[in-house]
Chain A
């Protein structure tokens, strides 16, 4: 149980375009979903916290207009990188938590974004 699926696993886009990444909880309803960014050989940096049906809470320094988060249902959250630039290239990972195991977070496989 507690499977989180992310799609796509890899994406290459042109500078100036927008890219949407999906995060789904496959076998549970996610109370909260989190979006992280990870640079090569570095740790995970929390970007934002998203609760179903409400606006996402962004960490300091993360541009909310740049990284649009939509948590439309208890099983799906999306991250849209708008007007992507090469410096947005990174590994983006989502995680999800649910009430029965509220202190544990389960991660998706990650999405490698390359902006050319």
Chain B
């Protein structure tokens, strides 16, 4: 099936550092969602983006919907140990279908 390219694939960072990850596609998307998944659990929605250029924050998390509508970025500021997990982007390819394509994931590990 189709997937979005996410980078980096994994990253180790020190507690307190800022984190940045992105998601790119060759297709245009109408909505971008960012999720966090802990081991053995379902993904939890972090941020939803609806318009090109939109910048939205949720606590220490900030995400942006790229102007070209083909990419999105997620930043985490002042990382803490509980930020550990896998972060997925998801793009809505066809408006109104509620159908999402998921990114390949970014595995984040925070070193205390």
Contacts and interface: CB of A to CB of B under 8 A. Distances in A.
A6 B48 contact: no
B33 A105 contact: yes
Given A59-B1, A110-B40, A105 B102 contact: no
A45 B1 contact: yes
B102 A43 contact: yes
Given A97-B98, A103-B31, A44 B44 contact: no
Contact of B41 (A32, A59, A97, A110): A110
- For chain B, the bracket of interface size reads 20 to 34
A104 interface: yes
B69 to A, nearest CB: 14
- For chain A, the bracket of interface size reads 20 to 34
Given A43-B88, A105-B33, A31 B98 contact: yes
Interface string B72-112: 00000000000000001010100011111111110100000
A105 B42 contact: no
Nearest to B98: A97
B103 to A, nearest CB: 6
Interface in B40-84: 40-45, 48, 50
B25 interface: no
B3 interface: yes
A109 interface: yes
B93 to A, nearest CB: 10
B48 A34 contact: no
A61 B42 contact: no
Interface in A24-46: 31-32, 34, 36, 41-46
Given A43-B3, A103-B98, A108 B42 contact: yes
A102 interface: yes
Interface of B: 1, 3, 30-31, 33, 35, 40-45, 48, 50, 88, 90, 92, 96-105, 107
14 contacts: A4-B42, A31-B98, A34-B98, A34-B100, A42-B104, A42-B105, A46-B1, A46-B100, A49-B99, A93-B42, A95-B42, A102-B96, A105-B90, A107-B44
